[in-house]
């Protein structure tokens, strides 16, 4: 047997030696790998991160009239429901539903019944009580009548006068008249209807001026004042000039808003009550950027704003809406110009590095 075969046979008979030899080979192989990592550039550190692409557009500010927009509906300046003050049957109707009435015009009359007789009775009673009083007064001067008896006679005169005044008032209340110029919007009675005290007779509404009642926030209240001009857009009507005539001094405790009233002239009652209205209160002139409402976004706190790009980094800017219409919204608080993300804003967050693609590219 050759010496080589003999050595190989001895080697196979030593398994521990074989295991150690294999382990040394593995360690050498692993060490070579780590050495390669050290000698080569750090691929993780040097690897270029691919930034997301977003489309941006440069928006330039323009001078606009800052406004506050309010929404409401037209209402009568005054409206009253006339009610029966005496009982009786309706004897005559003088005004139709929808007709114009002037202050003092008769709308309807109620039967007098026994009121004329009561009037005559109390007129006579007042005379009698006065005679009794004057007689008692003369007796009191002569010492034949006590002061208590004199006061009793005077009380009787006063009571008779009160009954007479009540009867005169009841007679006057049988004639139902318009309390102010307006429209007889509704009439609830016809000739022959029997009325009790408190029954509704008619509704009269004053439509000149028309009033739009709305509510304004606590952040806006300091920017307006009573008497300032307003622009009103009624549904399907042209723009109308109005005036802010009232601003509440106390906020609604539930909504924390202040009630305001805008009045618009309505000669001839051209405009009706109950029409949806948009009111524009002009304020000062500001620089604002006009964008599509689709570009507005919310941050994690729920603040409204826009995402723009500054030095290839996404920036969220909180804004204020100065004005809006069907073509877009005007924003303040973003500066004179900004590169706003117009496509891809939903896939990036503030602080992200991006590859902006500008419209001119």
Which range, 3-12, 102-111, 306-315, is most confident? 102-111
* Whole-angstrom distance, CA of residue 316 vs CA of residue 310: 10
Q: Is the pLDDT of residue 34 over 50?
A: no
Residue 361's pLDDT band, with cuts at 50, 70 and 90, is very low
Two tokens at 110? 């109620």
Classify residue 264 as exposed, middle or buried by CB count within 10 Å of its CB (0-12, 13-18, 19+). buried
Q: Is the pLDDT of residue 351 over 80?
A: yes
| pLDDT of the residue at 28 | 56
Two tokens at 130? 């006065």
How does pLDDT run across 51-105, given as a tens digit for each residue? 888 898 889 888 887 788 889 999 999 999 999 999 999 999 999 999 999 999 9
Two tokens at 40? 């080569």
Residue 37's pLDDT band, with cuts at 50, 70 and 90, is very low
* Residue 17, SS3 per DSSP: helix
DSSP 17-41: HHHHHHHHHHHHHHHHHHHHHHHS-
Which parts of 142-221 fold into alpha helices (H)? 147-172
| Exposure letters 212-238 (e unless 16+ CB within 10 A, then b) | bebbbeeeebeebeeebebbbebeeee
Whether pTM exceeds 0.95: no
Mean pLDDT of the chain: 85
Classify residue 106 as exposed, middle or buried by CB count within 10 Å of its CB (0-12, 13-18, 19+). middle
């Amino acid at each position: 047997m050759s010496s080589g075969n003999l050595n190989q046979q001895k080697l196979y008979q030593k398994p521990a030696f074989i295991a150690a030899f294999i382990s040394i080979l593995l360690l050498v192989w692993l060490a070579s790998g780590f050495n390669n990592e050290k000698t080569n550039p750090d691929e993780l550190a040097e690897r270029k991160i691919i930034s997301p692409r977003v489309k941006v557009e440069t928006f330039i500010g323009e001078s606009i009239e800052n406004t506050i927009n309010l929404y409401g509906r037209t209402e009568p300046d005054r409206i009253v429901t006339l009610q029966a003050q005496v009982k009786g049957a309706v004897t005559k109707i003088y005004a139709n539903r929808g007709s114009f009435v002037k202050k003092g015009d008769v709308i309807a009359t109620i039967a007098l019944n026994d009121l004329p007789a009561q009037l005559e009775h109390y007129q006579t009673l007042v005379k009698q009580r006065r005679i009794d009083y004057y007689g008692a007064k003369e007796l009191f001067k002569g010492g034949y009548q006590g002061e208590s008896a004199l006061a009793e006679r005077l009380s009787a005169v006063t009571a008779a006068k009160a009954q007479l005044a009540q009867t005169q008032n009841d007679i006057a209340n049988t004639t139902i008249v318009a309390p102010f110029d307006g429209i007889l919007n509704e009439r609830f009675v016809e000739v022959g209807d029997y009325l009790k005290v408190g029954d509704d007779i008619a509704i009269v509404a004053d439509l000149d001026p028309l009033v739009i009642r709305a509510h304004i926030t606590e952040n806006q209240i300091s920017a307006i004042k009573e008497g300032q001009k307003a622009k009103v857009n009624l549904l399907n009507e042209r723009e109308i000039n109005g005036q802010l005539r009232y601003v509440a001094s106390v906020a609604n405790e539930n909504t924390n808003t202040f009630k305001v009233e805008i009045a618009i002239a309505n000669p001839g009652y051209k405009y009706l009550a109950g029409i949806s209205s948009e009111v524009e209160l002009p304020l000062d002139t500001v620089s604002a950027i006009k964008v599509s409402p689709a570009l507005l976004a919310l941050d994690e706190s729920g603040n409204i704003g826009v995402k723009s790009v500054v030095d290839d980094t996404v920036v969220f800017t909180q804004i204020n809406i100065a004005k809006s219409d069907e073509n877009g919204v005007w924003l303040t608080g973003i500066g004179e110009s900004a590169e706003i993300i117009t496509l891809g804003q939903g896939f990036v967050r503030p602080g992200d590095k991006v590859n902006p693609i500008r419209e001119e590219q």
